[in-house]
Amino acid sequence: MSTPDLIHCRNITVCRDETRALDNLTLSIPLGQHVALVGPNGCGKSTLIRTISRELHPLYNPDSELTILGKSNYNIFELRPLLGIVSDELLRRSLRPATGRDLILSGFFSTLELWPHTPVTPAMERKADEVIEMLEIGSLAQRCVSQMSSGEARRTLIGRALVHDPKALILDEPTNSLDLRAVSELREVFRKIAQSGVGVILVTHHLPDIIPEIERVIMLRKGKVFLDGPKAEVLAEGPLSELFGIPVELLRREGYYHLL
């Protein structure tokens, strides 16, 4: 029996403020594949992630389908060990007086801090230590999240997502509001995660965020798949110019793509 896709959407429509944010969308992402979802603001990227995480729900359609690893009926608690999701919204909610270590441990309990008498086990402690070492964020373990920079808080949230050993990590516009150094450090974190065997699903409109390990790019426009294929074919001047509606010149350097 073949392994089911990590994510499978067929004929999905999601409305927001009476606008079709996703319009009869169909796409699949196999288990273990590194993928970038690219498109201008308002194309449906973040709506798709919020639909996958059950924050939003598609319109009823007998011909539509949304499955995670072949299951159409799942709740948020079943989803978290499968997909780690890091977003701006989660970042805003996490800016609390909890330490970085407590924020990472909170991932086991689907919270953003540890409450008194939270039953943290030695195995959870060991896993948190493992993630902290992997991400090289030992200096953040005892610092309050509310005192971290945006880049530091994002790295800590990635640790929170990784404690479950998820099948994939979804990163929604992960370098927003970061300075150049923080962006560079975060991209190296993405590469390390991809090389560890965890699937990376990157949602972005910044082409330099697309790390060399990503092999497939899905372009979205007006809630539909505009183009889907190998990175080298999709990230070309013609498709990008049409997607964003402006003439584009592209430079490829050391596996990264840059707009000129």
The answer as to whether 99 is a domain residue is: yes
pLDDT of residue 1 exceeding 70: no
Q: Are residues 75 and 188 in the same domain?
A: yes
Residues 222-245 have a mean pLDDT of 96
- CB atoms near residue 71 (< 10 Å): 12
pLDDT of residue 109 exceeding 70: yes
Q: Are residues 71 and 140 in the same domain?
A: no
Residues 201-223 have a mean pLDDT of 96
Q: Are residues 157 and 183 in the same domain?
A: no
Q: Are residues 227 and 202 in the same domain?
A: yes
- CATH for 51: 3.40.50.300
Determine what percent of the chain is predicted with pLDDT higher than 70. Answer: 99
Q: Are residues 23 and 78 in the same domain?
A: yes
Number of domains in the chain: 2
Q: Shortest CA distance to 27 belongs to which of 42, 56, 6, 43?
A: 6
The answer as to whether 29 is a domain residue is: yes
* Interatomic CA distance for residues 177 and 91, integer angstroms: 12
Q: Are residues 174 and 59 in the same domain?
A: yes
Residue 60, classed as helix, strand or coil, is coil
8 with 66: CB under 8 angstroms? Answer: yes
Q: What's the pLDDT at 219?
A: 98
Q: Are residues 158 and 51 in the same domain?
A: no
Q: What's the pLDDT at 27?
A: 96
The answer as to whether 1 is a domain residue is: yes
Q: Shortest CA distance to 198 belongs to which of 37, 85, 59?
A: 85
The answer as to whether 88 is a domain residue is: no
Tokens of residue 232, six digits: 């080298």
The answer as to whether 67 is a domain residue is: yes
> For the segment 134-154, what is each residue's pLDDT rounded down to a tens digit?
999 999 999 999 999 989 999
Residues 20-26 have a mean pLDDT of 96
Q: Are residues 52 and 171 in the same domain?
A: yes
Residue 159 structural domain: 94-165
150 with 177: CB under 8 angstroms? Answer: yes
Integer-rounded Cα Rg, in Å, for the chain is 18
pLDDT of residue 222 exceeding 80: yes
**Alpha helix positions (H), the chain:** 45-52, 76-79, 88-94, 100-106, 122-135, 150-162, 180-195, 231-234, 237-244
pLDDT of residue 206 exceeding 80: yes
> For the segment 48-95, what is each residue's pLDDT rounded down to a tens digit?
999 988 889 999 999 999 999 888 887 777 777 789 999 888 888 887
Question: What's the burial of 45, exposed, middle or buried (CB within 10 Å: 0-12/13-18/19+)?
Answer: buried
Q: Are residues 30 and 119 in the same domain?
A: no
The answer as to whether 87 is a domain residue is: no
The answer as to whether 193 is a domain residue is: yes
Q: Are residues 190 and 253 in the same domain?
A: yes
Q: What's the pLDDT at 77?
A: 73
202 with 84: CB under 8 angstroms? Answer: no
148 with 103: CB under 8 angstroms? Answer: no
Q: Are residues 104 and 23 in the same domain?
A: no
Q: Are residues 124 and 235 in the same domain?
A: no
pTM of the model: 0.92
Q: Shortest CA distance to 37 belongs to which of 2, 65, 9?
A: 9
* Residue that wins the pLDDT comparison between 260 and 142: 142
pLDDT of residue 225 exceeding 70: yes
